[in-house]
A and B are shown apart, each in its own frame.
Chain A
Amino acid sequence: MRDLRLAVRAGGGFGLALAFFLIVVVLVPFAVGPEAAVLARIGPGVLWVAALLATLLSLDRLFALDWEDGALPLLATSPLPLEGVALVKAAAHWITTGLPLSLAAIPLGVLLHGEGAALLWLAGTLLLGTPALSVIGAFGAALTVGVRRGGLLLSLLVLPLYVPTLIFGAEAARRGAEGLDATVPLLMLGGISAGSLALLPFAAGAVLRINLR
């Protein structure tokens, strides 16, 4: 709750990720040309990559603020275990980035000539996949919390971990948009999200404890 309030109060993370998402999507037609057919074809993939990069943007502040102002050791000695702290942080991150990005994907998809069902598929896969992005990101942020200017390192560590989520997410969105059977990628996407949510908070908690030593 506090993190939610902080994210909204500080203003930064919340609007910034959305604005970044918008800008990337606006830049794409300038780069590849305005043809509707091309844009409609690459739309889901572009939106997935843009969402992924926008998620990355606010990750390095996830634990860094608590690290700098000394709240992290205080959290570590509180009744809430660090695993729980990591999960709550990931959840707050998802609510302030993943969720709005998934919803914003619909109007932005229209800009890229997406239509009805395709837009719903896109938003649906993003809703299913962005929790994994947030919790993987929380693990990465926990790894780099003690590193000065760890933002770049964080991207380097987290992006390879994002590959399976991106592949299954974009593939499910594409297949759904073309009316093909998307069961397998959808199941895999859901599986990755569920598995990451179940296991990665433990890894993130362990890593935070190591960094606090």
Chain B
Amino acid sequence: MTAPVLRAVALAVARGGVPLLEGIDFALRPGEALVLRGPNGAGKTSLLRCLAGLAPPLAGRIEMQPDAAAYASHADGVKAALTVEENLRFWAALHDRPLAEEALDAFALRPLRHRRGATLSAGQARRLGLARLAVVDRPVLLLDEPTVSLDAASVARLAGWLREAHLARGGVAVIATHAPLGIEAPELDLSAHRADPRATAGPDAAFL
């Protein structure tokens, strides 16, 4: 059995200093994905930000190689003044990767490659944001609502890319989503991990 690429141990997560989730345990081995479920405000985004290393965990630990994660937030980080290709080229250069044509193909961006970011529709911008993940080519994907503003064909394209290009090559993914994505993955229901409201962890602890 291979070692996990990403492992969370007794992880507790806060949002704005308030404890939100606790006791999160999971391990993802190469090729495995995890789908985060839970109503709005359950803490899916906070957990993903914590896994990405943007926010420190309240307790517990995350085991992962450094610089292994690629995070995709609600916002796509598309530069309005640059074309689709220039946007991707920037991220490729930053991550010291070549700009693979497959990344453009995977999300059907080839016809749009010379369009400026400002003129893209929300769905097109989202596809560009997802293509960035293919370009930076990191083993751990942290996707926050990747299907928002995508049409059915694009959702299928995303699922296909995840299955065949990412997971099949030994990558892992943690995906927060409400829509069925069409990939085989266990689900983690965050509402079962809500932090005890009487909990006194977090920055406020000293004052209670």
Contact A76 B80 (CB under 8 A): no
Contact A71 B82 (CB under 8 A): no
Q: List 13 A-B contacts (CB under 8 A).
A: A6-B81, A6-B82, A69-B80, A70-B73, A70-B76, A71-B79, A72-B77, A73-B49, A73-B52, A73-B73, A78-B91, A78-B136, A79-B96
Contact of A213 among B56, B69, B74 (CB under 8 A): B56
Using A2-B90, A74-B91, A212-B55 as known contacts, list a sample of 11 further A-B pairs with CB atoms less than 8 Å apart, ordered by residue number in A: A1-B90, A1-B93, A2-B86, A66-B77, A69-B75, A69-B76, A69-B80, A70-B75, A73-B73, A74-B71, A79-B95
A-B pairs with the 9 shortest C-beta distances? A70-B75, A71-B77, A9-B81, A2-B90, A70-B77, A74-B77, A213-B55, A10-B81, A77-B71
A6-B82, A9-B81, A69-B78 known; A80+B73 contact, CB < 8 A: no
Contact pattern, B 33-75, Cβ under 8 Å of A = 1, otherwise 0: 0000000000000000100111110000000000101111111
A69-B75, A213-B55 known; A78+B86 contact, CB < 8 A: no
Q: With the chains together, A74 CA to B74 CA distance in Å?
A: 11
Question: Is B3 interfacial (CB-CB < 8 Å)?
Answer: no
Q: Does more than half of chain A's interface fall in helix, strand or loop, or is it mixed?
A: helix
Q: With the chains together, A47 CA to B52 CA distance in Å?
A: 46
Q: With the chains together, A78 CA to B53 CA distance in Å?
A: 11
Q: Residues on B close to A: CB < 8 A?
A: 49, 52-56, 67, 69-82, 86, 90-91, 93-96, 132, 136
Question: Is A5 interfacial (CB-CB < 8 Å)?
Answer: yes
* Chain B residues with CB below 8 A from A73, complex form: 49, 52, 54, 71, 73, 77
* Chain B residues with CB below 8 A from A10, complex form: 81
* Chain A residues with CB below 8 A from B49, complex form: 73
Contact A77 B95 (CB under 8 A): no
* Chain A residues with CB below 8 A from B80, complex form: 69
Q: With the chains together, A79 CA to B76 CA distance in Å?
A: 18
Q: With the chains together, A75 CA to B74 CA distance in Å?
A: 15
Chain A nearest CB from B119 CB (Å) reads 14
Contact pattern, A 1-42, Cβ under 8 Å of B = 1, otherwise 0: 110011001100000000000000000000000000000000
Q: Which A157-175 residues have C-beta < 8 A from chain B?
A: none
Q: Which A179-213 residues have C-beta < 8 A from chain B?
A: 212-213
* Chain A residues with CB below 8 A from B93, complex form: 1
Contact of A77 among B56, B70, B75 (CB under 8 A): B70
| Residue among B72, B74, B77, B93 with most chain A CB within 10 A | B77
A2-B90, A70-B74, A77-B69 known; A9+B82 contact, CB < 8 A: yes
Contact A76 B54 (CB under 8 A): yes
Chain B nearest CB from A211 CB (Å) reads 10
Chain B nearest CB from A149 CB (Å) reads 20
Q: With the chains together, A180 CA to B182 CA distance in Å?
A: 77
Chain B nearest CB from A50 CB (Å) reads 28
